[in-house]
Each structure stands twice: as C-alpha cells, then as structure tokens.
C-alpha cells in the first residue's frame, strides 16, 4: 500500500514538469475600420478625408505583436503616401 502511494506521488510530481500554459491564453484578433478621418495625437493624418484601417494583433505567452495599416490617400503630410503601416512587438 505504501509503495502505491509513493509511486502515485512520484508520478504526480513528475507530471507537474509536463504542464504547459493553456492555449486559450494565446489570442489573436483582426479589426477593420472605416472612419471619417485618421487622427493621431491631435494631427490629421488623412487631411480630413475618409480613411480605411485594418489591425491585426496576436499574442503568444508574454510576447505581443500587432500591425496597423491605414489608407492616407496621397497625404501631403506623409510625402504623398497612399498608406502607412505601423508594426509593434513587445512583452508584458
């Protein structure tokens, strides 16, 4: 009887090393927006024109990554660019 209890304790302790984080903690999302104007920090990026934006965000454990694409439609502020892409990677 005591051997069985010891064996169960050893197997239980060994299985604790096999535990990994739940996959539910890893997440991702995609967002699409239509807006009347793209404005950041009080500055108009789309010069008062409508803009389309798309975001993608993903996380894996403590690592987070995201990308945002915004149409600027020949923005003078950005040298005639039609779109801008912001990339971000970080940790918690």
Q: How many CB atoms lie within 10 A of CB 45?
A: 19
**Average pLDDT for the chain:** 76
Each residue's pLDDT tens digit, 54-75 = 999 999 888 999 999 998 888 7
Q: What is the pLDDT of residue 25?
A: 58
Tokens of 63: 């690592």
SS (H, E, C) 8-30: HHHHHHHHHCCCCCCHHHCEEEE
Each residue's pLDDT tens digit, 33-55 = 888 877 778 877 777 788 899 99
Domain ranges within the chain, ordered by starting residue: 23-91
């Amino acid at each position: 009887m005591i051997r069985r209890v010891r064996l169960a304790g050893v197997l239980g302790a060994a299985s604790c090393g096999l535990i990994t984080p739940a996959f539910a903690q890893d997440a991702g999302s995609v967002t699409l927006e239509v807006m009347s104007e793209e404005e950041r920090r009080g500055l108009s990026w789309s010069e008062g024109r409508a803009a389309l934006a798309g975001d993608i965000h993903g996380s894996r454990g403590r690592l987070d990554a995201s990308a945002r694409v915004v149409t600027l439609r020949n923005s003078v502020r950005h040298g005639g660019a039609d779109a801008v892409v912001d990339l971000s990677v970080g940790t918690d």
